Each structure stands twice: as structure tokens, then as C-alpha cells.
A and B are shown apart, each in its own frame.
Chain A
């Protein structure tokens, strides 16, 4: 019995214990379940983490290698490009140097030659100086010629006056107006009067003529000093209009013809017409006529001989 009781008690205790334990286990089941779940999840997590980190490491290795490869390729490319750019820059710089030299040379030679311009301007100033000097000389020369002409005019006027006043020349008996006895030497007009040879007045001397037939040697000294072309032209134009000395009306002796007649004959221009006094074929015509005449004469002679009677000659 005791054992049954003990067994009952043990079963009861066991039931109680079982119930207690069940209830405790029931109570703890949630907690333990959760704990188990937690532990399991933690373990799973660890597993997964380990797996993931393994994966990550491997992925990193792959990516590392890939990135290194790509970057090296790109870097090689960059190096090539940089090298290329450096080369191009170098070439460009050299090309700029060449172009610079060429453009300078070309512009200086063909478009705007600075030294040519400089030498042109220098030459121009020299030419200007030369021209100014030459023009000054020319003006000087012209002035001298004009002065000379003026002097000649004055001298001619004085000589003309001396011609008109020839009667005031002093004689042995009576000193002239210009030869005052109270003065030591006679006046210049007096000297001029002595030099001038008297001429019968023909016409009034036209003004401005430089050469007169009776002019003393004074004026010729002036004309000798003139050597310029302009004076020559005026002299030639003057001489073309020179008044001739008067024609002496004495009749010439002998069988000479009148001068007017001779002159007319000299100047007479015969009518230069195309037709002559004798025609162009005059010679042939004359020859023909002669032949005909001879023929007729022969015929007549024949006739005369034949008929023996005299007829009038043709």
C-alpha cells in the first residue's frame, strides 16, 4: 500500500509535478521557444553572414580585379591621349613658329616693305631738295634774264634819245649842253652823243626792239652775256619783224630789171595742176604724127612719081 500510496502520491506528485512542470514548461515554452528561435535565427544569421561575407569578399576580389583592369586600360588610353596632345602641341608650336617667320617674311617682302618705304621717303626728301634747288636756280636765271632785258631796253632808249639829240653834241667852238665847262668831266650823255653815228630818220623806232642797225658796241656786250633759250626766241621773233633800212630810190644803171619784178618772179608759184601744157602722151602722138606724115609724104611721092604732077605738100 504504502507503495501505492507512495505511487499514488508519486503519481499525484508526478501528476502535480507533471502539471507543474507542464505548466512551468507551458509558461516557459513561449520563452524557450523564443529563445530557441533566437538561437537558431542567430545561428542561421551567422551562417548567412558568413556566407554573405564570403560572397562579399569574393565579389570584392572580382570587382577589384575588374576595376584594376578597366582603370589600367583607361589609364593607358589617357596616357596615349596625353602623349598625342603633347605631340600635337609641340607640332602646333613649331608650326606657329614657321608660320610666324613666313608671315613676317611675306608681309615684309610683298605687302608692306618697311625698309622700302623708309628708303622711298628718304629718296623723296632728297628729290624734293634737289627740285627746290633747281627751281630756285631757274627762278634766279629767269630774274637775271628779265633784268638783262630791262637793262637792254633802257640802254636802247638812251641810245635812241642820243640819236634824237645828236645836234646837242659839243663842237670845238661851243661846248654842248651836256659838256659844261664848269664840270671836270663831260656828262655821260655827251659821251654817248660822241659815240652815236648820225642816221637820217627813217621811221619811228618801234618800242622794245633789241637790235638796231646803228647801235654802238655797248648794247652788243649785253647781248653777248645772254646765253639762254628764251632770249634767243625773243630775238628771233624780233628779227623777223625787223624794219628794213629804206630802199634807196636811185635807179640802177644797165639792163637790170626792176627789183619788184625779180621778186615776183621768184615768189611766183606756177599753177601746179596735174595737166601739163603738153599732154602725157605727147611724145607718142608726135611720133605717130611724124610716121603718118612720112607715110603720106611717101604716098605723095609715090603719087608724084606715078602721076608726075606736082601737088601741094601736106
Chain B
């Protein structure tokens, strides 16, 4: 046969391979085909094609593998079992940028499913190869490499540590300064995933000067970038006081408060999360945020959003109020209590309600003024109902009970306490009676009101064991009133009077 005919055979084979690989890549883009492809053993077929001579076949095969692994867990495991990762990693160093992009995509698709698969990627030397990719010029390669590193770092601290040990963090910080928006987003997201696990990892990220770059990007118009930036800052600042102070020193506030009115709800949520993580450490940090006007902004934010998005805002209010009574008074003055009452009534999820109850407890337990502010918002019946409701989760019941008790211990506002006399269980009733016994001896108008509103009658009807604290409080209350009135309101007095009538003989 002539040379041309022999070459033609090879060309036909190459065309066939190319067509196969391209079709498989297109088919794997659709989820319904993947089952069938998996049953046909596509992974083992694609493996030799990845080491093909022709670069475009390599790239398309890698792309197809990436899409397959992206789809499901077992396909990713199949990819790992077929030992494709080591081939990928070894050829990553030498190939062109399209191949690198596709290979990084495969690594990401494998690593994103579970920590074990990520560990497999790390064990085959994937991290070093990806870090080498980060030093490339092509933005697509950098983005794919950074995304893959982010997927690996997401799972647990040891994987993040291996990424940091490979020296990825300075390169990621350099990526933050790139002009392309996609790379910035991905780099910020990866830094956020790395620093979320332990304080040491966060400190490593901070030492490379990430905070200054992240702080510059706060007022960028791109919403997704802002999401990732705020998420990264909040993951850094959540670990310790010094890290939070470093974040604050970057002068993010009060400029970040403008992002609380952003269109994108996740940007707002992440700003509030950042504020929560900063505020929970010390009173000075809370004072700083309050002085910037953060309280008003967060309370308005709570009014605008619904559901799970409210949780960081509610917790932030609770943390601020927990530090000192002047901060709690600041929360009350910024109209925080009506907003929390709204949250309590509107939300249906138990963990959000529990968080709201906890925050209210932190606000109200300082002094009688604070307790009065909580009481006038008509929150006692609601908290009591949450505590008594059998369908509330344990956590919700516990938190509402603690909140109710701590607020009741300081409450001297009697009109709000009276409804509680009627439906409360005895352990709450004890505190209510204690408060009455403290206030009534000194205030005559309150005594009059107590009698006329039927409170004294209810107190007589309460049955308590003699010698228990409840009985002592009831006795203390009874001793504030003259004998006749107490006897008048005691239960069964009308029968006593009638008996006296029967035994009376007119003279």
C-alpha cells in the first residue's frame, strides 16, 4: 500500500476518535444521558483518550470526564479508581492552557463531592499541580485552578492545611488583584473556604495581606464578588478577637453599611454575618459597630428580608445586647424590640424563633427599664406560648424558658405581668409572684389596680405547697392587703357567707 493510503488509515482513526470524544462530551452535558453512559463504561473508554497524541482529543476527553464526574458521586469515584488522577496531574505541567483548564475542571468535579475524594485528589499530587496552574498567565486557567482549590478546601481543615502548605495563598491573593471579575470572585471564595476552618489557617491568610485587598473590593458594583468578599471577611473575623480587630482596622465600616441596601439579598446577608462575627467578641468592637450606626441598618435589614436570611441579623442584636446594659439600651432605642417581635410572630422555623427568643432574653435581662421595654411589646404571652407549646423543639423551649425567666426577674411593670398569672406553669408563676411581692408593698396605686383587675382573686386561687417559695411569695402578697379584702377574695367565700346566713336566727 502506498504511503498516502497508510496515512489515510491513521487519519480516519483520528477522525473517529475525535468524533467519539466530542459526542460523549456533548451527551454528558445533559443529565439524562449520564446513567446510560455510565452503564456503557464510558470512564474506562475515555481514559486512554486522555493520553492521546492529538491535543484537541485530549482536551475534549478531559472536558467529557469533568462533566461526568461533576454529575454524580459514583462517577467521580470511578474516575478515582481508574487512576486517571495521576495521569491528569503528570500531564498538567506540560500541556497547553485549554488542557490545563479542562484538567482543573476534572479535579474540581471530583473533589467537590466528599472529603475522601478530595483526599484522593490531594494524594495524587493534585494540589501542587493546581498551584502551578495558578502561576499561569491565562485567566481561564487561573480561575479553574482556584475553583478546584476552593472545592478541595471546603471540606475540612486538614485539606485546607495541605493547600496552604503548597503555597497557594499568596498566589490567590495575587489573583484577587487581577482585572477579570471571575477570577476575583473565585479567589475570594477560595480564601473564604480556606480560612473558615481554624484560626491558624485564617491567620495564614491574613499574613499574606489578604484583608487590604478584600477591603478595597467592598464597594465594587458586582454583586457576586461582594458576596464572596464579605463571606471571606466574616470567616476570617469569626475566630478570634485579634483577627476581628484586624478586619476592623481595614476601615471597612461604615462604608460596608451601604452594602446593606444592595439589591442582592445574599450580599446583605453576608454583610450582616460579618457584623455578627465581629460583634460577638468584645464590648469595644460592638461599641464601634453601634457608633457607626450599624444597629439601625441591621434593624432595617431585618424588616426587609424573610426566612433564614434574618438569622445573622437577629443573632447580631443578641450578641450586642449581651455585652452591657448601655448597648442593650442602644438596641432598644434603635427600635430593635418591635422588629424582633415581628420576627417572632412571622417566622415559622424553630431555630430562628429560638434565636429570637435568646436575643430578647439578652436584651431584657439587664435592668427593669429593659424588661419594661420588652414587656410593653407584648412579648410575655408569646414567649410563654412558645415554651408551653408541645410542638416546639427542645432547643426552642429551653431558650424561651430561659429568656422568660431572666426577663421576669427584673420586670416591675405590673400590667404586663398580670396576664401571666392566669396561664403560667408553676415554675414561671414563682417568678411572677416574686415580682409582685417586691413591688406591691411600696405602691398603693398598684395595689388598687391589682385588686380591681382581679389579680388578687387569681392569687388566692393558686394552690401551692406550704413552705415552697411560691407560698411565701403569696403570703407576702396577702400581707400587703387588709384581712377582710383577702378573705373576701378567697375562693369559697360566698359559701361561707351563705352558711353563716343559714345559721343566723334573727332576734
Contact = CB atoms under 8 A, between A and B. Distances in A.
A26 B292 CA distance: 137
A234 interface: yes
A47 interface: no
B326 A121 contact: yes
Contact of B333 (A121, A131, A132, A135): A121
A20 interface: no
Interface string A130-154: 1110011011001000100000000
A129 B261 CA distance: 15
A125 B326 CA distance: 13
B467 interface: no
B291 interface: yes
B260 A135 contact: yes
Among A128, A132, A138, A230, residue most surrounded by chain B Cβ atoms (within 10 Å): A128
A88 interface: no
B334 interface: yes
Interface stretch (B44-52, B161-169, B295-303): B295-303
Given A135-B258, A138-B261, A233-B221, A117 B326 contact: yes
A183 to B, nearest CB: 41
B272 to A, nearest CB: 14
Interface in A180-239: 230, 233-234
B263 A124 contact: no
Given A127-B291, A230-B221, A132 B296 contact: yes
B329 A121 contact: yes
B201 interface: no
A14 interface: no
Interface in B296-312: 296-297, 300
B277 to A, nearest CB: 21
A124 B293 CA distance: 7
A120 interface: yes
Given A121-B326, A124-B333, A142-B261, 13 more contacts: A125-B334, A127-B291, A128-B295, A128-B296, A128-B333, A131-B254, A131-B257, A131-B292, A131-B293, A135-B257, A135-B261, A138-B261, A234-B221
A127 B326 CA distance: 16
Contacts of B254: 131
B75 to A, nearest CB: 35
A209 B245 CA distance: 42
Contacts of B334: 124-125, 128
Interface of B: 221, 254, 257-258, 260-263, 290-293, 295-297, 300, 326, 329-330, 333-334
Nearest to A122: B333
Nearest to B290: A124
Given A124-B330, A125-B334, A146 B221 contact: no
B25 to A, nearest CB: 26
Nearest to A145: B221
5 contacts: A124-B295, A124-B333, A132-B296, A138-B261, A230-B221
B355 to A, nearest CB: 23
Contacts of A131: 254, 257, 292-293, 296-297
Contacts of B262: 142
Nearest to B262: A142
Contact of A142 (B257, B263, B297): B263
Contacts of A129: 296
Contacts of B333: 121, 124-125, 128
Contacts, number: 50
A124 to B, nearest CB: 5
Contacts of B293: 127-128, 130-131
Contacts of B290: 124
A135 B326 contact: no
Contacts of A142: 261-263
A124 B291 contact: yes
Interface of A: 117, 120-121, 124-125, 127-132, 135-136, 138-139, 142, 146, 230, 233-234
B172 to A, nearest CB: 23
A135 B268 CA distance: 13
Contacts of A138: 258, 261
Contacts of A132: 296-297, 300
A256 to B, nearest CB: 34
A119 to B, nearest CB: 12
Contacts of A120: 326
B351 to A, nearest CB: 29
B367 to A, nearest CB: 12
A120 to B, nearest CB: 7
B300 A135 contact: yes
A230 B226 CA distance: 14
A242 B302 CA distance: 42
Contacts of A234: 221
A131 B299 CA distance: 12
B330 to A, nearest CB: 5
Contacts of A128: 293, 295-296, 333-334
Nearest to A139: B261
A143 to B, nearest CB: 9
Contacts of B292: 131
Contacts of A136: 261
B31 to A, nearest CB: 28
Nearest to A136: B261
A121 B327 CA distance: 9
A293 B263 CA distance: 83
B223 to A, nearest CB: 11
A129 B290 CA distance: 13
A162 B457 CA distance: 84
A124 B294 CA distance: 11
B127 to A, nearest CB: 34
A146 B334 CA distance: 30
A125 B221 CA distance: 30
A114 B465 CA distance: 44
Contacts of A135: 257-258, 260-261, 297, 300
Counting from the closest, the 10 A-B pairs by CB-CB distance are A131-B293, A128-B296, A139-B261, A230-B221, A127-B293, A135-B261, A125-B333, A132-B296, A128-B334, A131-B296
Nearest to B329: A121
B349 to A, nearest CB: 28
A51 to B, nearest CB: 73
Nearest to A117: B326
Contacts of B263: 142, 146
A130 B333 CA distance: 14
Contacts of B291: 124, 127
A199 B258 CA distance: 44
Nearest to A143: B263
A276 B258 CA distance: 55
A127 B296 CA distance: 9
Contacts of B330: 121, 124
A138 B261 CA distance: 8
Contacts of B258: 135, 138
Nearest to A137: B261
A59 to B, nearest CB: 63
Contacts of B295: 124, 128
A134 to B, nearest CB: 8
A120 B325 CA distance: 13
Nearest to A140: B261
A230 B296 CA distance: 25
A266 to B, nearest CB: 21
